[in-house]
Structure formats: C-alpha cells, structure tokens
Structure 1
C-alpha cells in the first residue's frame, strides 16, 4: 500500500491549484493559506513543489503566485478530449457549410495550438492544420485569438523572454515584442488573422471561446484562399455566433464582455 501520509499533502496541493484557478489573477501565499486553512510554512513548501513541476509560477516582484504552463496544459488536456470536441463539432460543421470554407476548433498546448475539430467543404483546399496537428500559436489566427484574450500573467508565463520566434514562410512576428503588437491589433478588432504565415496564399480568421472566468479555452477559425478577396470583418461576423454559442455551452461569457491587455507586464 502507498504511504497514507502523502494523501493530505496531495489534497492540499490540489486545493491550492483549485483555489488559484478560481481567482482573477495571481495571489499571495498568505491568501492561499488563509483560504484553505493550511499553515503558512506548509503552503510555502507545497508552492515550491508546484513551481518545480511547472504548475505554479512565482512573480517575485509582486510577491504573488500564478498558475504555470503545466496547469494550462492540464486544462487543455481536458479540452482536447471529447467534451469540448463534442460540443463544438456541430457548430464547426455548420460554420464550414454556411461559410463555404475550412472551419476548425483548436486549443492551446503550451505555446502551440492543437486542432481538435476540422471540417472541410468540398473543393476547399486541404490544410496542414488538420485534426491532431500542432502549430506555433503565434503564427495562427486561432492561437493569436486565444493569446489576445489570455490573462497577462499567463501570457508572460508562456513567453517570458524576448527570444526569437519561429517562422514558416518569412512572415509574422519574430520576437515577443512584435507578437504583442499583433495581439493589440487582434484585441482592438475583436478577432485575429493570419495571412500566408502557415501556408502561402491562405488566410485565416479566428475568435476565442471563453470560459466562466473570461479565459480562452479554445478558438474557432475559418481558413480560405487569399484570392477569394473576402472582407475579414465579414468573416469574423460569420464566426462570432459559433464562438459565442460554444462559450455559452461551456458556461462561459461572450468575448465582447472581456477587456484584457496581455501586452503589459504583470
């Protein structure tokens, strides 16, 4: 049998993660200890373990703790499974049919996006962003849509440095500073775009799907040939009902109700 003494520690660690997930932003160790009735020394010990495992990040300048990349991956791991795909597939199918373009549903996986639903009408071009494919989030409309709606601390946990970002076709942001500019534009428009950054000649428009805290759980996007000459605002209007309906189905809020600036330092 396992060591039963480890059970309370496991429960307390899960309690910390659950508490942090319900907050709007990073919290102090004292707030965690008080909320969970856990000794402060124990709280610091558990936080240190969670930091080493990537589930928590320490914002030393603010003396606060926020959720780390591993917590995000755990959440998207759930999202990648059937509940979100089952809820979103009918919406994506309808969108692809009515828009006459490739439609897909994607979730974040670290700094990548993972496509969990894709619908391709007849005659539509085959995409590299097929079911189960992962692509750099900063190069895709789906990824940018989610990044633009992401809590500030989560964005900086994903992109802590100003290192160069990968590119595929010679287009798109090459540094975190440039990415921040792209996200400002996406937030101002209410949707994100990508033009020939994944595949030459193809354009994508994406909108986020938000949970009950207003955090991005997924994104829905349409992809079509640049030669179609579609107005991007009109494409976004086609996607918006599907993204808002999926947000509603998961108990979330419409993207228009969220006002967040991921481009400033926490």
Structure 2
C-alpha cells in the first residue's frame, strides 16, 4: 500500500466536516476543528473553492458550503450502485453474525421479490431462492415495505375490498387488520411475521433507504420455530435493523 498524501488527506478532512452542523463552515471553524495552521487551511480552502468543491455562502462573508462537484461525484456513484449486489454483501455479513437465512427484497405491486439471499448453515433452515415472489402481506419484508408507503398509495394497492390470499392459517387476510398491523410496524420501525408465509418459520425485517431517504427495500432474517423465542426475536430485530442501516449507508443514506 502506498503512502498517504497529507495534503489530500487534509482536503478530504475539510470536505467531511460539512457532513455535520448546518452545512456551512468558515476558515476559523476548520482551523479549530482540525487543529491545522491557518495558512494551510487558507491554501486548502482556496484550492477546493477553485475546483468547485466548496463555494462562498451568499450574505455570509468568509463562510463556505459544499459546491456542485461533490454532488456530481455522488450522483455518479449512485448511478453505479447495484442494490442486489450491495444487498448480497450485507446479507452475507448479517448471516455470518446470526447463522440464519437473510433476505433482501423489493416491493412490486402487492408482492415482494427477493433480490438477495444468504442461507443459514444449520441443517434446519428456511428454503427459498433469490427471484422468488410472495404476497407482501404474508412476509415481514413485505409488511415492512407496505408500512413504508404513503397512505394514498397503500390504499390503492390494498383497497378495503382486497382479496388477501392466505399462505398459512396465520396469514392476515382482512385489509383492515393488515392496516392495523402496518400502523404498529411504522411505530416500531421493524416488522415481525410469525408463521404467516411458512408454518415452520418466523421472520423479522427492517427498512432499507436510498440516498433520498425513500424506502427501496427491506432486509429480513428468517428463523425456524425450533430456534425462535421472544429473546431471540429481540436480538434479531436489532441485527436486522443494523444490517438494513448498513445497506442504506451503502446506498448513500445519511440518516436524519
């Protein structure tokens, strides 16, 4: 590995300072936060401004905000992202932690489609495959994605007279009951499905957001009932939330 270039490192440190606070900085702010000499900061700020990485804030002399160049680079990065590939990497990491089956899924109409999957190494495990399509209301990923829809869009996809199929006796088939369940999911930020798509499996799921904050997928962990308990559910909810947050960060989401 080659030597790090101090001037480049310092310039990047300055740019990363804009991730915090109100998004504007002055040269004295940078000197104080990075403990750099004033002359060094002046030269770096001048160079970054000349290349449109930062620009002066109108009406606030001596203060700067991010320029158009970081946005252009971020947009190009976003264009190259592959949700399935990124999801597969994160799913693998989550599965290595819990040794259960992990999925990443997207919503299409009223169905979910699994776009990434990593299996548990246990002999008893959920059997599924990437590309499989299931009714959203019967799965934790699907309920998480439905819960993330605006009310009007949810009503159009699942109207009051919707015919919700049952995959098991535990499946929700009443639209009103589904909406009640989705309201709880919105409040908790995670979804739980207990034997609603498979009589021998329960799942937890958390939302995956893109750089705009929009929910574009969900990550779930599926567990056979022989390894399921309230304590285990709590552990997996936290792990699913962390995995979904990691994937969201890969997609450019910075959080609130």
TM-score of the superposition, structure 2-length normalised?
0.63
State the structure with bigger RCO (CA 8 A, min sep 6), 1 or 2: 1
Residue 227 of structure 1: aligned partner: 226
Structure 1 CA distance for aligned equivalents of residues 99 and 115 of structure 2? 20
Give the Cα–Cα distance (whole angstroms) in 2 for the partners of residues 241 and 124 of structure 1: 26
Structure 1 gap segments, 5+ residues each: 1-80, 258-266
Residue 95 of structure 2 corresponds to residue 96 of structure 1: yes
CA shift at 1:167, angstroms?
0.5
Find the counterpart in structure 1 of residue 134 from structure 2.
Answer: 135
Residue 167 of structure 1 aligns to a residue whose secondary structure is coil
Deviation for aligned residue 1:168: 1.1
Bigger Rg over Cα = 2
CA contact (8 A) 1:150 1:215 kept: no
Give how far 1:129 is off: 3.5
Q: Does the C-alpha gap of structure 1 residues 239 and 225 become closer, same or farther in structure 2, counting only changes over 3 Å? A: same
Partner deviation per Cα, 1:152-203 (whole Å, 9 max, x = no partner): 2221221134223100111122121111011112122221011111111211
1:127 is paired with a residue of what secondary structure? coil
Asked if the contact 2:105–2:113 (Cα under 8 Å) also holds between the matched residues in 1, the reply is yes
**Aligned: 1:245 with 2:251:** no
Shift of 1:252: 2.7
State which drifts further: 185-194 or 103-112.
185-194
Q: What's 1:26 paired with?
A: none
Q: Which residue of 2 aligns with 1:208?
A: 207
Partner SS, residue 82 of structure 2:
helix
Structure-1 residue corresponding to 2:179: 180
Deviation at 1:245, TM superposition (A): 1.5
Seen in structure 2, the aligned counterparts of structure 1 residues 166 and 128 have a Cα distance that, compared at 3 Å, is farther
SS at match of 2:84: helix
Structure 1 partner of 2:191: 192
Q: 1:253 to 1:150 in 2, by over 3 A?
A: farther
- What do residues 189-244 of structure 1 show as CA deviations (whole Å, max 9, x unaligned)? 22101111111121100001022443220000000112213422221111112101
Counterpart-to-counterpart distance in 1, 2:130 and 2:167? 20
CA distance in 1, matches of 2:121, 2:127: 17
Q: Please give the alpha-carbon distance, in whole angstroms, between the structure 1 residues aligned to 2:85 and 2:106.
A: 14
Paired residues in the alignment total 175
In the alignment, which residue of structure 2 is the partner of 1:117? 116
Task: Report the Cα offset of residue 128 of structure 1.
Answer: 4.7
User: Normalising to structure 1: TM-score of the pair?
Assistant: 0.61
CA distance in 1, matches of 2:212, 2:153: 14
Q: Does 2:180 match 1:163?
A: no
CA contact (8 A) 1:151 1:215 kept: no
What CA distance in whole angstroms lies between the structure 1 residues aligned with 2:113 and 2:107? 6
Shift of residue 151 of structure 1? 1.9
Contact 1:115 1:129 in 2 (8 A): no
CA RMSD, Structure 1 to Structure 2 (Å): 2.0
Q: In the alignment, is the contact (CA less than 8 A) between 1:104 and 1:221 conserved in 2?
A: yes
- Partner residue in 2 for 1:148: 147
